Amino acid sequence: MTSYFLKKLTGSVFALMSALTVGAQEGSPALSLEFIDSNLKHAIAQYRTLMNRVPEGVLPRTYLKEADSLVTAKSSSWISGFYPGTLLYLYEFSGDQSLLTEADKRLQLLEMEKLNKGTHDLGFMLYCSFGNALRLSGDAQKYKDILLTGAESLASRFNPTVGCIRSWDHNGDKWKFPVIIDNMMNLEFLNWASRVSGDPKYLEISKTHANTTLRNHFRPDNSSYHVIDYDPETGAVLNKHTHQGAHHESAWARGQAWGLYGYSMMYRDIKDPAYLQQARKIATFILGHPNLPEDGIPYWDYSVSAVDAPRDASAAAITASALIELSGLVKGKESARYLKAAEKMLSSLSSSKYKAVVGSNGGFILQHSTGHFPAGSEVDVPLSYADYYYVEALMRYSKLLR
C-alpha cells in the first residue's frame, strides 16, 4: 500500500474534490490558508494521541470523559470507515508516514466487510476508507476489487418494487421496509461502481433510490423525515417516522445534513437538475431556520430551541462540507451565500468551544456532537464521523485556496 501512496496525486480524479471550482465563487474565500493548515496540523496532533489509545482489532467511536474511556467498535459497525478515512485525509495533507501506516493497519480489518450484505452502510464503511485509499494510490487494483465487491453487496439490498435500498433488517415488528435519509450517503459509492465497472445497474439503483427518496422523504418546507417505511410487496408508503429525531414531524439535524450532502453529490455526479434543486431547497431550510444558532452549529434537532440543549457538531461538519461542494455547483450570490455559511460553521468548529485542546478529548478533534438523543446514547461527546467530515471540509476548502 505504501508504494502506491508515494505516487503524487496530480491528475487523480475523485468525486469528493473534482466539482469544486474557484471560478464559481463570487469574491474570494474568506478563510486563509494559514487558518486551514493550522487546523489540519492540530487534527494531526490530536490523531497522534488517538492512535496511541486505539486497541488492536477495533476502530474508535467516541470517548467518555468522566471515565477517561475510549469507546470502540468492530469492523461491522457503520462508523468503521471514518477513522481510517480521516487518517488518509491527514496523510494527504501532511505526508506523515505514521498516519498512513495506521490507516493501512485499520483497512486490513475492514476488508472483510466487502461481503457484508446485512447493512446499508457500506458507503460509509468502505467508500470513506478504501475510496480514499484508491484516490490516493492513483490506480490500485486491490482497492478497486474490494470496492466493487462491496458495491455488489450493497446493491443486493435494493428492492425494485419499493425503488430503494433497504436500510435496517431489525425492527421487524415496527417497520416492514425502513429507508432512512442517511441512505443517500451510500449512492456515491454506487455511482463510482458504475463508472469503474461499466455496469449501469449500480447507477440505475442510485438514481432510482434518489428519486424515490425525493418523492417521499421531504415535507413541504423541504425538511426531511428520518424513516420512511414501505410495503416491500407493493412499494406503498406505510409510515413516515423518526428514530433519532425529537418526534415524527421534527427535523433531526444530522438527517438534514445527510440530505443536503446526498443531493449535492448526486447533482455533481449525474447532473440531473432535480437533484440540484433539492439540494438548494434543503440548504434554504437549514440556513434560514429560526432555531439555527448564530454560530451555525445546530442543536441536535431543528425543532429544539432551548439554549442549553445539546448541539451536534457532527451535523455542522457534514453540512459545512456539503455547502462547500454546493457552492461550486452554482454561481454568483448563491454560491457566495453557501460558502459564507460553510466558513461560519468551520470557524465555529475550529474555535475553542468545539475543538479540543491537543492531548484532551481522548484524541478526537471535535467536542459536542450528539449521536442518538432520544435513546440517551452518545450525547454531547466526540464522534469519529464528526472528525471525518470536519477534516473533509477543511480539505475541500483547501482546494479552493490552492
If one counts every other C-beta atom within 10 angstroms of the C-beta of residue 389, the result is 29
Q: What is the pLDDT of residues 100-131, one digit of tens each?
A: 999 999 999 999 999 999 999 999 999 999 99
**Is the pTM above the cut of 0.75?**
yes
Mean pLDDT to the nearest integer, 317-334: 98
Catalytic residue among 37, 104, 121, 229: 121
pLDDT above 60 (res 6) = no
Which pLDDT belongs to residue 31?
A: 96
Q: What is the pLDDT of residues 12-70, one digit of tens each?
A: 333 334 434 333 345 578 999 999 999 999 999 999 999 999 999 999 999 999 999 99
CA distance 82 to 43: 14
CATH class of 2-9+39-401: mainly alpha
The proportion of the chain whose per-residue pLDDT surpasses 70, expressed as a percent, equals 93
Q: What is the pLDDT of residues 273-283, one digit of tens each?
A: 999 999 999 99
User: 3-class DSSP state for residue 269?
Assistant: helix
DSSP annotation of 369: E
At 180, give phi and psi (nearest 5°).
Answer: -105, 155
C-alpha cell at 359: 492531548
CA distance 216 to 213: 5
CA distance 107 to 397: 26
Catalytic annotation present for 182: yes
Q: Domain-by-domain residue ranges, the chain?
A: 2-9+39-401
CA distance 61 to 67: 15
Residue for grid cell 443517500: 184
CA distance 7 to 368: 37
If one counts every other C-beta atom within 10 angstroms of the C-beta of residue 378, the result is 18
CA distance 383 to 368: 9
Which pLDDT belongs to residue 354?
A: 98
Catalytic residue among 173, 182, 272, 387: 182
Which pLDDT belongs to residue 27?
A: 52
pLDDT above 50 (res 317) = yes
Round the average pLDDT of the chain to a whole number and report it. 93
Mean pLDDT to the nearest integer, 292-301: 98
Which pLDDT belongs to residue 215?
A: 98
Catalytic annotation present for 121: yes
